Amino acid sequence: MSNITLHTLSSMKQAGEKFAVLTAYDACFSHLVSSAGTEVILVGDSLGMVLQGNDSTLPVTVEEMAYHTQAVAKGNQGSLIMADLPFMSYSTPEQAMDSAAALMQAGANMVKLEGGAWLADTISMLAERGIPVCAHLGLTPQTVNKLGGYRVQGRDQETAQQMINDAVLLQDAGASIILLECVPAILAKEITLALDVPVIGIGAGADTDAQVLVLHDMLGITPGRSPKFVKNFMADADSIEAAVQLYVAEVKAGTFPAQEHGFA
């Protein structure tokens, strides 16, 4: 696979080609995931839960994100690397600049942050200085305490319209990608059609431009009950590599996620 860039992803959206995103947190899985044709590797602050055993992503630090981003970059075989800015590492544009610089210098190709319209100035400042941004809307795990738990967002008309407005505003501010988590499929489709930039979904139906899952979830090794939007790809595979290849193939074919993996 030749190196994936933002131009690659934008061209895929325009051509109606779906792309696959998976998390990875180390060089070994980075090599496996990228070699399987996954266009984007997300170094997610989800590592706080799946690697560190925390009950949320909140304890993760910029230093920890940089460490794992550096490891992922060493194993990567051409995927675009997106790294999360962790909780309270971008509360001001200036702080966001410092945090994003640390992750970009560790090997990220872009950063992801969670939030709506209040992030417009921050995204604009980052983009102007050469740092590509993915804006994460819908269920934003870093604000889980304010949201009252891990709940589907945008089910009523007012919050749905606000999410559409925020997505357009953040795109116009300079966001190169929008990620939607746990939103009704019909809303995710509307946002995807409204935007020029690619939209990645997780628990957001099949009509987004791409899908993302946590690697440990799609391999069926995360303890406890899996979220509705997760499919265990190991169930139909004889190796981890085959499971990842199956995930990539189903995302590109549009067969994952199926209706049972989404929300009305």
Exactly one of 63, 128, 181, 260 is catalytic; which is it?
Answer: 181
Active site residue 181: yes
CA 20 centroid distance within chain: 10
The residues with which 111 forms a beta bridge, in sequence order, are 83, 133
Judge residue 118's burial from the number of C-beta atoms within 10 Å of its C-beta, 0-12 exposed, 13-18 middle, 19 or more buried. exposed
CA 184 centroid distance within chain: 17
Round to whole Å and give the CA distance between 29 and 26: 6
The residues with which 201 forms a beta bridge, in sequence order, are 180, 211
- Choose among 96, 76, 84: nearest CA to 33: 76
Residues annotated in the binding site, as ranges?
45-46, 84, 112, 114
The DSSP call for residue 243 is: H
Q: Which residue has the tokens 């998390």?
A: 23
CA distances to 113, 135, 172 from 120, rounded to whole Å, are 11, 10, 9
Instruction: Give long-range contacts, CB 8 A cutoff, 24+ apart: 196-202.
Output: 196/171, 197/10, 197/13, 197/171, 198/9, 198/10, 198/12, 198/13, 198/19, 199/167, 200/21, 200/40, 200/134, 201/257, 202/229
> Using an 8 Å Cβ cutoff, are 116 and 137 in contact?
yes
Beta-strand relationship, 199-202 and 177-181: parallel
Residues involved in catalysis: 181
